[in-house]
Amino acid sequence: MAPAAPHQRTTAPTARDGPRAERADARRNRAALLAAAEEVFSEQGISAPIDEVARRAGVGVGTLYRHFPTKEALFEAIVAARIESLATRAEQLAREPDPAAALLSHISEVVAGAVAKKDLFDELARWGYEPIERVHAEYKQRLWRAGEILLRRAQQAGVVRPDLTQEDLTAMVLGTCEGACCALVDAARRPELSKRMVEVLWAGLQAR
């Protein structure tokens, strides 16, 4: 986005010399916007109006659009971080000695995350299991690949039904998130419910 490096010019440092450093208020506002977006999107998901984010950040919409070209871009900035952390955690689990426990932890953590944060939920929901080859965002690829490894290892250990693909598992995990989040449940009971749902899913995944 930035047209060139802000410092070191070959010509004299006059006023017409390249772009100045970022102004302090701009940096403050961007931070405030990210914090507000984090709050708003985690509560209301991607359907939250953009004005709500600007309002809560204490800036006008114009300022929001100065920092992020579209609503999508702002949303992605938030949700990418969430997915990255899931991916990192999944990669870590993929190196654990017990493949069954690792897969179960992975599933539990994804579900718990989606149940707690509506933005993550919305992102997973619309992600669906789009053919992963067509997904360009590298953080999604990381999560997908780590999930693949976790599933394969659990299958090789004879713990999980060998006929399941990662698409199947993804659909089931996603379904578990959605079932637990469904419209009218009061949010307070979701964690407990989703725990039980993961239990049932896990039992259903067992080989034999």
Partner DNA sequence: CACTATACGGAACTATCGTTCCGCTTGTCA
Partner DNA sequence: TGACAAGCGGAACGATAGTTCCGTATAGTG
Residues that bind DNA (CB under 7 A): 13, 15, 19-26, 28-29, 47-51, 58-63, 65-67, 69-72
Closest to its own copies by CB, 68 or 75 = 75
Identify the CA nearest to 83 among candidates 37, 134, 122, 26. Answer: 122
The half-sphere exposure of 23 on its side-chain side, counting CA atoms within 13 A, is 4
| Long-range own/partner contacts, residues 197-203 (CB < 8 A, 24 or more apart) | 197/111, 198/104, 198/107, 198/108, 198/111, 201/107, 201/172, 201/173, 201/176, 202/104, 202/107
188 part of the interface to its own copies, by CB under 8 A: no
Closest to DNA by CB, 68 or 144 = 68
Q: How far apart are CA 192 and CA 205, in angstroms?
A: 20
Q: How far is the CB of 99 from DNA (least distance, A)?
A: 42
Give residues with Cβ within 8 angstroms of 148, minimum separation 6: 166
Task: Indicate which of its own copies, DNA, none lies near residue 72 (CB less than 5 to 8 Å, by partner kind).
Answer: DNA
Closest to its own copies by CB, 70 or 206 = 206
- At 4, the amino acid letter reads A
Interface pattern 101-140 for its own copies (x via CB under 8 A): ------------------------xxxxxxx---------
Angle at which helices 71-93 and 24-44 cross, to 10°:
70
Task: Indicate which of its own copies, DNA, none lies near residue 29 (CB less than 5 to 8 Å, by partner kind).
Answer: DNA
Choose, by CB under 8 A, the member of 26, 31, 137, 171 that binds its own copies.
171
Interacting residue ranges for its own copies, rule: CB under 8 A: 125-131, 161, 164, 167-168, 171-180, 182-185, 193, 196-197, 199-206
